[in-house]
Chain A
Amino acid sequence: MNESNTIDYLMLLADSSLIMGQRLSEWTGHGPMLEQDIAITNISLDTIGQARYFYQLAAARLNEKSGNADVTEDTLAYLRDAHQYKNLLLVELPNGDWGQTILKIFFYAHRQKLMYEKLSGSADAEIAGIASKALKEVEYHVSWSSDWVKRLGDGTQESHDRMTKALEYLWPYTGEMFVPATYEKNFLENEFSFDVLKQGWLDKVSGILTEATLSLPPADTYMHTGGKTGVHTEYLGYILAEMQFLQRAYPGCEW
């Protein structure tokens, strides 16, 4: 298998989880109730933790190939610019209100669960190992966010309206999860079909949205893409400017 496909694919996994976690960490200290502040912070920690495993693996392989030791999880996270980031557009969108954040986690976690289930059987043993560890965490993200989607969709009129708005805003960013980039397709070597993955996701997600009395946006909704190949929204530049500031302002330091 082509190693650069693997590295690109690892960047897709790592960048998506890191930016997800980075966004969620904005909630820490500002949640709607203490218990949920703690819960969303956990999810942030889990996703950043997953990102670190993927970055570390990518760094090890890059170093192995070059014979140097100059790539680390931090050079990958802190010293690449927006066009080199391969994360899904969905995760870089602003948190918005609690409902919008919940829905973002909900869409992403359901997709992560299906992906990690597949990847835990991957021929690449190291990726399989990370995926099966992450799977346990993601199962919690799935159940936590699904409970909240039901609570908010089927709570008060206001919460229902807010969820409807969030759904309209986020739905056009869900399609990208099921449109493989070339490196992604190459890495997965057609191990599985993205159409099947999408159907599995849609079944789960639409079941819960219906329970939450929310209606699914039309099937022909326009879907944004670009994140996987480094063409992002304007938001990512700001996220990176903030996240990378110290490493950029004081290059080459230990922290």
Chain B
Amino acid sequence: MRKLSDNMDTEALQKSFDEKIEKDIKIEPKDWMPVEYRKTLIRQISQHAHSEIVGMLPEGNWITRAPTLRRKCILIAKVQDEAGHGLYLYCAAETLNITREEMTEQLLSGKAKYSSIFNYPTLSWADMGAIGWLVDGAAIINQIPLCRTSYAPYARGMVRICKEESFHQRQGFDILLTLSRGSAEQKAMAQDAINRWWWPSLMMFGPPDNESPHTIQNMKWKIKRFTNDELRQKFVDMCAQQVEVLGLQIPDPDLKWNEERGHYDFGPINWDEFWNVVKGNGPCNKERMAARIKAHEDGEWVRAAALEYARKEAAGLTGKQSEKATIKK
């Protein structure tokens, strides 16, 4: 009997959930949701958070070498924004009953993925421009629809994040613009960066629709609002116009305006490369993971001390050197 009524409850709950999705009513953490919906969101939001955090590394790589004090401050603030994004997103994921520790553990053990783009190296200052323009640009196109995603805390987080991402994109574009108007060496530096970052940026939208296993269900749940290929096309259209302002080239001989489609056509993407990077064979996969693991391990004693101090403080035991000898653990 009990079993039957549970089933009926579930059915009713599922029905009300479906209705909410249908009517574009946001799902809140306390609302009932299908197990798979929750799992999908945890996977997507934590992956997104990890990407923000790992994404700090390639750009962090140029902070100490930024060419002017103004650029240095902008870059530091940008990388710091990405830490903030990671933080909001971990908090959003935590509303789905997973802890930050669990998510961190998944990242460090290699179980959880992060955006493959961050496995490419930053080889020159111009890469700060190309990342801002292309990588943050692609992130914006991916993320603007997520401001209307069906899970409320995720949608709210994305609204804040998108505002900052558009700053990042403008700052990146400004770096490239300055280089493109500079010396021949600077112009070459900018072109080289675009050459290296263009194709990986297109891959950021994920595999083509016919090979994207989660797309259909995620669209039904209104977690996703557009397919990978639709978003990729939007990105290509945007960049094809902006690159003209730079007076630089997008490294694709097939890129041209298609009057009939009302879009730019573009050449084939090297998906072998994409899957290789996903599998861990990108140029910096090992370095990125090693850096995260090192930060985590080096921070272990700091977190332990903070916890212990908080415990002592709550018990009124701080400031007593003698205590330490007796509590040794």
Contacts and interface: CB of A to CB of B under 8 A. Distances in A.
A150 B305 CA distance: 10
Contacts of A242: 64-65
A247 B320 contact: no
A64 to B, nearest CB: 21
Contacts of B304: 155-156, 158-159
B76 interface: yes
Interface in A200-255: 210-213, 242-243, 245-247, 250, 253-255
B302 to A, nearest CB: 4
A38 B83 contact: yes
B302 A41 contact: no
Interface string B54-93: 0011001001111111111100110110011011001000
Contact of A211 (B83, B178, B302, B319): B319
A154 B318 contact: yes
A157 interface: yes
A150 B309 contact: yes
A37 interface: yes
A243 to B, nearest CB: 6
B320 A156 contact: no
A34 B87 contact: yes
B294 interface: yes
B303 interface: yes
B265 to A, nearest CB: 35
Q: Chain B, interface size: which category? A: 35 or more
A41 B301 contact: no
Given A152-B305, A157-B324, A246 B65 contact: yes
Q: Which of A18, A78, A162, A243 is the most central at the interface, judged by chain B CB atoms within 10 Å of its CB?
A: A243
A38 B80 contact: yes
B299 interface: yes
B86 A34 contact: yes
A77 B53 contact: no
Given A34-B87, A158-B301, A28 B56 contact: yes
B39 to A, nearest CB: 24
Contact of B60 (A22, A28, A42, A99): A28
B185 interface: yes
B286 interface: no
B299 A98 contact: yes
B283 interface: no
Nearest to B54: A29
Given A30-B291, A41-B79, A158-B301, A151 B84 contact: no
Nearest to A247: B67
B320 A34 contact: no
Nearest to A48: B73
A29 B83 contact: yes
A150 B320 CA distance: 11
B260 to A, nearest CB: 42
B306 A151 contact: yes
A22 B71 CA distance: 13
Nearest to B125: A246
A32 to B, nearest CB: 3
A120 B6 CA distance: 70
B73 A156 contact: no
Contacts of B30: none
13 contacts: A29-B56, A30-B291, A34-B53, A41-B83, A55-B69, A78-B68, A98-B302, A154-B324, A155-B304, A156-B304, A159-B301, A210-B319, A242-B64
> What 3 pairs between A and B have smallest CB-CB spacing?
A32-B299, A155-B305, A159-B305
